[in-house]
Amino acid sequence: MQGWLVKFVQFRVKHPFVFSDELIAHLNQAAADPDSAVEVMDDVLYQTLRERGILFGYPVLVEDDEDVVAAVQYLSAQDKGRFIYVDTLFKCMVQECAFFYPTVGLYEFYLCQVLTRFLQFFLNAEVHPFANKPLDELLQDPRYLEQLAALEVSFDQQTKVDISFSFASGLRNSFAFFDIFTVVSWNRSCQDNPSNVHKMMTFREQKKRLQEQVFFVMVAMMWANNQTSSGWLKWRRQLRMKPFPKPERRLLSVYCHTADIPKKVCRQLLRKPLGIAELSLSVNCAIVSRYLLEQTILMQLLCNKPGLSESMYVLADSLQLTRSQLHASLSSVTTFFDQYHEEFSFLTGKAVFSHLKSYSTDSVNNIVRKNMSAIMREIKNTNELYETLLRASHQPLSKQESQFVRKQLLSIAKTVPALAIFCLPAGAIVLAAMTKLLPFSILPDAFVEQDT
């Protein structure tokens, strides 16, 4: 009897991952400029993880392919979470293969390479007997199927992602970033030096250190947020109060368990203030710095403390991130939560949620105003779009015209770096701002609703 992994591979053979024009442009840029290839591919990886909600701990389906949605609609929350995680892991690795083997261009070849890497990384399996064989032949080989069955067991044991959209599950799920980042980093090292194939433990140890750093950063940020005066800690101790309010203690408990931090270490960190400047962060790549920053913003959000505090600027400096990157990270988090606000029942009614919506809207409106000339120039260069927008001022558009306008406006928005982050996954905030602020007298009902 076939397990779920074989069925998944067969599904992805039949329904290949879609490479957007933007992704293809990134892959071409990485191939053309080897010096910036790692940075570009990190951006590709980060964007994929952001789209799927892996960065923020709340996996979501963003595929336009109806077959993908149909494939998971009857799954339980845990199984659906596993599907999104495994699918995201495969997609990230397929993108890496497309970069490392640009002239091959065979999708099934990429899937074969990904499965080979997974067998090596998760099982330390011998893959020579399966080299240079087509995927359809491998899926008929009992020895290969046995290896995939073992790989499926490994995935089942290690994948704890679910999509219950709860406070605790989101925190646990967010560590899935390190799982995917570790596999991708190891794969890149193997491409540079094939002898690194058997050095999985080195990368797993690096993953553990990075998880610990997330915990230490969270503790330092909580001390910074709560210690408002020199007598604060002494006052709380006199009243025999816990050092942090309940939401923060709950958050730290989940992080401590997920990162496998010894309870003794956790208790020590809660007794003595830990300053951000005291942290020894061994972060040597921008993608991890961005993740640490966005996790901190997420922590602030869950603790009902939105916005950018002074400690956030100190942390950004420690991570060698610019002010613009800090504001982009805040925009990234707020846009995601605004896009899927109906799912986050545990945030409903909190003041932080209203703050998120207003922050996202105000940010996008300001960016559109600042870049109006460039946006209008792009619109006028696309004659069909320009004429359609003019027509929308005196008559409703058809469903096809409405879809065309949405697609074109989002494509133009993505050319503005400050706006691009708001275009994911559906760009509703961007579309609302552009149709409101652009110099077209668009009828309120000019656009046909997507679900009509």
**Is the predicted pLDDT of residue 16 greater than 60, yes or no?**
yes
Average pLDDT over residues 316-345: 76
**Closest Cα partner for 94 from 80, 107, 79, 75?**
107
* Cβ neighbours, 10 Å, residue 358: 12
Residue 226 is predicted with a pLDDT of: 65
Residue 241 is predicted with a pLDDT of: 46
Query: Which tokens belong to 172?
Result: 């646990």
- The domain locations on the chain are 4-163+177-193, 203-359, 371-437
**Is the predicted pLDDT of residue 368 greater than 80, yes or no?**
yes
CB-CB contact of 135 with 148 (8 Å): no
- Could you check whether the bond before residue 34 is cis, i.e. omega within 30 degrees of 0? no
Residue 449 is predicted with a pLDDT of: 47
Structure confidence at residue 45 as a pLDDT band (50, 70, 90): very high
**Closest Cα partner for 386 from 445, 442, 432?**
442
**pTM score, two decimals?**
0.77
Structure confidence at residue 77 as a pLDDT band (50, 70, 90): low
Most confident of 94-103, 257-266, 342-351, 426-435: 94-103
CB-CB contact of 155 with 83 (8 Å): no
Mean pLDDT of the chain: 78
Specify the higher pLDDT residue, 322 or 145.
145
CB-CB contact of 281 with 236 (8 Å): no
**Closest Cα partner for 6 from 130, 132, 115?**
115
**Is the predicted pLDDT of residue 133 greater than 60, yes or no?**
yes
Separation of alpha carbons 297 and 225, rounded Å: 12
Specify the higher pLDDT residue, 171 or 6.
6
Specify the higher pLDDT residue, 32 or 266.
32
Query: Which tokens belong to 211?
Result: 């998880």
Structure confidence at residue 180 as a pLDDT band (50, 70, 90): very high
